[in-house]
Amino acid sequence: MKEAATLSKEKQIKKDDRKLFRKALRKNWDCYVYIAPYGIIFLTFTVLPVLISIFFSFTYFNVLEPPQWIGLRNYQNLLVNDDVFLLAVKNTMTIAIITGPVGYLATLMFAWFINELKPVLRAIMVTIMYAPSISGGAYMIWTILFSGDSHGYINGFLLNLGVIHEPIQFLTDTSWMIWIVIIVMIWMSLGAGFLSMVAGFRTVDKSQYEAGYVEGIRNRWQEFWFITLPSMRPQMMFAAVMSITAAFSVGDQTTALVGFPSTDYAAHTIVNHLQDYGGQRFDMGYACAIATILFVVMVGLNELIQKLLSKVGR
Amino acid sequence: MEKAQRVIDERKIRTSKKVFNPGPARSTAGNVVNFVFLCIVGAFMVLPLVYTVCNAFKPLDELFLFPPTFFVRNPTLDNFQNISVLMGQSWVPFSRYIFNTLFVTIVATVLHIIAASLAAYVLEKRKFPGAKVMFKVVVLSLMFSAAVTGIPNYIIMSKLGMIDTYFALIVPYIASSIGLYLMKQFVSSSIPDALLEAARIDGASELKIFASIVMPLVKPAWLTLLLFSVQSLWGTTGNTFIFTESLKPLNYALNQIMAGGIARAGAGAAVGLLMLLPPLAVFVFSQTRILDTMASSGIKD
């Protein structure tokens, strides 16, 4: 008897909820009109592709024939049979583990250092530091600087100094290539996250600093650690997302710097592997499996870092 | 003794008035070290760009000097003339490439700003079923790169008949997630609810509120969205979506010149400068506004 009563009560609540929901829909119908232009395109070109990509990853699909369901075979092949993929994972990890944290720390440090300057100097420095990310293809310049022939500035410089006696083939020597990519990635690491941090430093409440001085803050390190850092958490989280995403999506840069495919696949990344199967071999199912793995790794790592950062200063 | 005390007091007052450089936490030595360090790093960051600028103005004989020189000695405009000569020979006029890039950049930017502001406004200031989920998905989409969605995107575009049209470059950019994200955070920090409430009491319609109150107030964010769209659209080659020569963007044509190798080194250097200048100009002229917007860009938990 009692059970029936609670059940009917639950039903009533559910019904009320649905009524409220419908009422909210009707009352706010115009919101959906406002959001429609963005929402429809966003769903079509961002959300839907991710779902399609996950679906294709379980199929064999060569564009000409309809996709065939093959279950987990793409993933099996990737993880067990494809040595080049494992090499690509290793290279991507090497690049990401170095450029991610270094780039992130650089973002934070330089934003802080720049914040210590006077306004005009600060504006100039922000432009200089952000300049490498401004033009999408600016990293092309490094191919000339690191070039192995007589146009290579770095080789020319080192030869002149007598450090080396014959030019180093920076862009084709397998022991150098990945390091060149890493240097260029670090050079480009001050992007949108950097702007966010620079702006973040300026929004910290000045009265907090004054209170800090009264309580005995002695130098800028203490000030940074005890006052600035805790109130910068939102900007730090945004910058972290930007850094991680950039570190794992390296691909176009390796193509521009060391070619595609690079010598002995020594700088082959996951994105390069994806482009290889998606753009040249037309094994779309396999390429989508690579894309899905990349998606899971990026989103998973981002969520993890967000969780960690949300504890800063707490 | 009293006088000394007064001097000390006065100095205390003076230092406490300074906002940027408050007393106890700043040493001159620290300032100098900081500045020198920033200059060294700044040189590393800016040298490749200085190199681009210098090379664009180098005559051919200077480009091929050994050992290579960094700065230009006899600046000339030969390289730029070379581009126009080279382009004069191509069967699609150079102006057409410029038009394509300008058209795509301007149309996509304008539509992106309008669509993102509309969506950002209702997501932030109105409560309706689905708003929170929608924003969560947008934040999630910041966390993976375009490489993930490349293949399905192409398939969707070909199903919609957008391949080989301007739409293939314009439409996806309208819903760029970073734009909506930044816009929404900026709306949240810069438009007080009370203002909108007052307008509603005065009887203004939602559309009127959006057009005459919200849009003018989010102008700094427009510039930020403009920066990001110019950054990604000015340099687009469109080589996966556009096959008709007369629809190809500028960067595609310029890459063709660069691919000419040593024979085109001079023109290639000039091309590098052309690709760099527009986004740089946008950033230099709107830096203050952009930083205002970025101040609210943080992810709040």
Look at residue B60 in the predicted model and tell me its pLDDT. 79
Q: Which CATH superfamily is domain B83-294 in?
A: MetI-like (1.10.3720.10)
Do A132 and B68 make contact, defined as CB atoms within 8 angstroms? no
| Chain A residues 66-105 within an 8 A CB cutoff of chain B | none
Compute CA distances B288 → A1, A124, A204, A232, B294, whole Å: 69, 12, 17, 19, 10
Is the confidence at residue B24, as pLDDT, over 60? no
pLDDT digits (tens, 9 = 90+) for A20-51: 888 888 888 889 999 999 999 999 999 999 99
Look at residue B139 in the predicted model and tell me its pLDDT. 92
Alpha helices in chain A (DSSP H): 2-27, 29-42, 48-56, 73-76, 83-115, 119-134, 141-145, 153-161, 174-187, 192-203, 206-214, 220-223, 229-231, 233-248, 252-258, 270-275, 284-309
Across all residues in chain B, what is the average pLDDT?
84
- Ranking A80-84, A103-107, A273-277, B236-240 by mean pLDDT, the lowest is B236-240
Is the confidence at residue B1, as pLDDT, over 60? no
- Ranking A20-29, A103-112, B18-27, B66-75 by mean pLDDT, the lowest is B18-27
More confident residue, A8 or B206: B206
Look at residue A290 in the predicted model and tell me its pLDDT. 95
Is the confidence at residue B146, as pLDDT, over 60? yes
Minimum CA–CA partner of A139 in chain B: B48
B48: which chain A residues are within 8 Å (Cβ-Cβ)? 132, 138, 141-142, 145, 187
Is the confidence at residue A149, as pLDDT, over 80? no
- Ranking A76-90, A130-144, B1-15, B279-293 by mean pLDDT, the lowest is B1-15
Look at residue B272 in the predicted model and tell me its pLDDT. 77
Span B85-109, average pLDDT? 85
Look at residue A297 in the predicted model and tell me its pLDDT. 93
Q: pLDDT grade, residue A70 (50/70/90)?
A: very high
Do A156 and B122 make contact, defined as CB atoms within 8 angstroms? no
More confident residue, A248 or A158: A248
A45: which chain B residues are within 8 Å (Cβ-Cβ)? 149, 153, 156, 171-172, 175
pLDDT digits (tens, 9 = 90+) for B151-177: 899 999 999 999 999 999 999 999 999
Look at residue B16 in the predicted model and tell me its pLDDT. 46
Report all structural domains of chain A as residue ranges with CATH numbers, in order of start. 83-309 (1.10.3720.10)
As a whole-number percent, the residues of chain B with pLDDT over 90 amount to 40
Q: pLDDT grade, residue B25 (50/70/90)?
A: low
Is the confidence at residue B18, as pLDDT, over 50? no
How distant is the Cα of A60 from the closest Cα of chain B, in angstroms?
14
Span B65-90, average pLDDT? 77
More confident residue, B90 or B241: B241
| Segments making up each domain of chain B, as ranges | 17-76, 83-294
Is the confidence at residue B130, as pLDDT, over 70? yes
Across all residues in chain A, what is the average pLDDT?
87
Contacting residues for A118 by C-beta, under 8 A, at least 6 apart: B20
Do A129 and B45 make contact, defined as CB atoms within 8 angstroms? yes
Look at residue B19 in the predicted model and tell me its pLDDT. 47
Look at residue B17 in the predicted model and tell me its pLDDT. 44
Do A298 and B144 make contact, defined as CB atoms within 8 angstroms? yes
Q: Which of A124, A218, A243 has the alpha carbon at shortest distance from B38? A: A124
Rounded CA gap, B8 and B6, in Å? 5
Angle, vertex CA B91, rays to CA B85 and CA B94, nearest 5:
55
Mutate to test the interface with B, among A31, A58, A245, A269 (most CBs of B within 10 A): A31
- Residue A301 tokens, joined: 């790592």
As a whole-number percent, the residues of chain A with pLDDT over 70 amount to 96
Q: Which of A301, A195, A182 has the alpha carbon at shortest distance from A253? A: A182
Contacting residues for A287 by C-beta, under 8 A, at least 6 apart: A274, A277, A278, B151
Is the confidence at residue B23, as pLDDT, over 70? no
pLDDT digits (tens, 9 = 90+) for A174-221: 888 999 999 999 998 898 999 999 999 888 888 888 888 888 787 888
Q: Exposed/middle/buried for A102, CB within 10 Å: 0-12, 13-18, 19+?
A: middle
Q: pLDDT grade, residue B21 (50/70/90)?
A: very low
Look at residue A8 in the predicted model and tell me its pLDDT. 75
Hey, what amino acid is at B14?
A: R
Look at residue B2 in the predicted model and tell me its pLDDT. 53
